[in-house]
Structure 1
């Protein structure tokens, strides 16, 4: 009877694998999405007094679902407030209502009527405060990104640009350009420990460690590419091969249950 539960574990694991692959394929065109893969581990019934040459396996279990933070393809959009990270690091956004800070690779930002730079859900992009020369004033603290709609001379804002080193410039109708802030990128000791919360956002956990904020192109952080977005890192050809493999594993475990059923039926039908 053990074979029933061993194969049942295999069916459940194949179902988890299929679900993970389907999720990857469904997000193949999602900006900033990172694919996942399932890791399995074997189950063995054994004891200290058991003969190691007689140990019997009990199937497999899901050891973990690992996230792959490899760089996705970079797509040029030509939009000033679209920015991609060419390397490691995450954008940080803050919910103005709860104060919760989330992390993302999706650099699709926009400016609201008050000049705040936000993501599509209204969370504020986190930046460093700078002086007139563009130097960071408080390296350990971030603030919400807000672009002044008029400069000191009363001229209206004409456009916003973001440099590769994270400097945000505001250009005004009087022909002047001023540094406003500098984009803050977060890095983690173990990014695979981040918890996915949907909408290509992650939150820090005890497994990931606390975020370390730095300017772009410094330390482990990559530089910014303005007018571009990072696409999903899902490889459809690879996922299709994985899908076929997972399907075959599911069918094999189902066949094992069918065979075990036939054995049981034969035993039940024995006549003495």
Structure 2
């Protein structure tokens, strides 16, 4: 019996040494969670025995449990590196199976999917409308996140906003308006608009003082041609815009490059007629040309944006995260991956930062939570335990040898 007790202690100390050694070897592994060897005593008692005088039978390894404490955040220069600040796991598509990880070292494969070093694809929620400021994601559907690597489509101009001040003391011109005759209009301003193919066009707005003090006409020209009828702007006695009249209310421009006819409206809201100089306070439009992909951004809520050379961005999806009731019950798969088990509970999928899930830090990685100083102390303790149990076996051997030598 003393030999078995000492042997169980040797096995326990060896398991402790191996667990600590594994922690040390993974101190530089991204997203690694340190393990702890947990032991229980072995106590056997026969029916009717006296527990007060019974002696235990040694120890045994009960479990090696992982400690899911937060690792420190290390910042990188790669925008596709993701770190989780708080609870939760990234969801991976492993050739049809689902795996979970805390390691956020992602890159783009040849097909445009976000993958880790094992080629497992990062999963997320697709946007319902990628071209809106608030795309709203389909949180009931998990898909592999894929980057748009082609050119972003252009957008034809449909609205122009013009906020100007027209001098109240401008003179009334007696000449009929002509685009190429500066003497036929009082003021002008210009901007760039875009047709349905993304071709830039030069647009100009010409202001002509009317015969009445509080009325102006605004003519529109695109690529050197004027498109009538003009707008009639009427102001009140305080210089504020009172009414805008035009029939029809849209400007329609046709081109010879195959693009759809360009139709846009001009919003003169906020235009004034004050005594100051002519001034353009705001002039913008909503069209843009096609663009090439320049980069990808991921915010702390996991929303993935593609940025293009035309200054636009497109929402590609939102990173999904999973939480478990008992993370220590997850099955380790290696390569920083875990699989769900009955002991871990059913996974709950949600967006980062919702519920008990942590947020995402782009351009950073979560380091291993191994504390080298603590592990070195554990190594010393486990080594001492091993030596002490070896001494137990040695002492038992000497006692047994002494009994054998009795004559």
The equivalent residue for 1:101 is 98
For residues 41-74 of structure 1, the C-alpha deviation after alignment (integer angstroms, 9 at most, x for no partner) is 0011113411121221000111111100100010
Superposition misfits of 4+ residues, deviation over 6 angstroms = none
For residues 115-139 of structure 1, the C-alpha deviation after alignment (integer angstroms, 9 at most, x for no partner) is 11001111100101122323122x2
**Within the alignment, does 1:155 sit opposite 2:291 as a pair?**
yes
Q: Conserved in 2, the CA contact under 8 Å of 1:115 and 1:147?
A: yes
**TM-score calculated relative to the size of structure 1:** 0.96
Distance in 2 separating the partners of 1:176 and 1:113? 24
Q: Conserved in 2, the CA contact under 8 Å of 1:91 and 1:104?
A: yes
Distance in 1 separating the partners of 2:113 and 2:291? 18
How many Å apart are 1:218 and its aligned residue? 0.5
Matches within 5 A, 1:67-146: 67-96=66-95, 99-132=96-129, 133-137=134-138, 139-146=139-146
Q: Which residues of structure 1 form unaligned runs of 5+? A: none
The equivalent residue for 1:36 is 35
**Within the alignment, does 1:254 sit opposite 2:390 as a pair?**
yes
The equivalent residue for 1:215 is 351
Q: Which residues of structure 2 form unaligned runs of 5+? A: 155-289
The equivalent residue for 1:239 is 375
Matches within 5 A, 1:193-208: 193-208=329-344
Distance in 2 separating the partners of 1:190 and 1:246? 28
Q: SS of the residue aligned with 1:108?
A: coil
How many Å apart are 1:240 and its aligned residue? 0.6
Q: Conserved in 2, the CA contact under 8 Å of 1:129 and 1:143?
A: yes
Distance in 2 separating the partners of 1:256 and 1:141? 60
Distance in 1 separating the partners of 2:18 and 2:366? 24
Alpha-carbon RMSD across the aligned residues, in angstroms, is 1.1
Q: Which has the higher helix share?
A: 1
Distance in 2 separating the partners of 1:71 and 1:31? 12
For residues 20-58 of structure 1, the C-alpha deviation after alignment (integer angstroms, 9 at most, x for no partner) is 000000000111000000111001111341112122100
Q: Which has the higher strand share?
A: 2
- Greater shift after overlay, 13-22 or 43-52? 43-52
The equivalent residue for 1:182 is 318
Larger Cα Rg: Structure 1 or Structure 2?
2
What count of residue pairs does the alignment treat as equivalent?
Answer: 267
- Greater shift after overlay, 34-43 or 170-179? 170-179
Q: Conserved in 2, the CA contact under 8 Å of 1:134 and 1:181?
A: no
The equivalent residue for 1:227 is 363
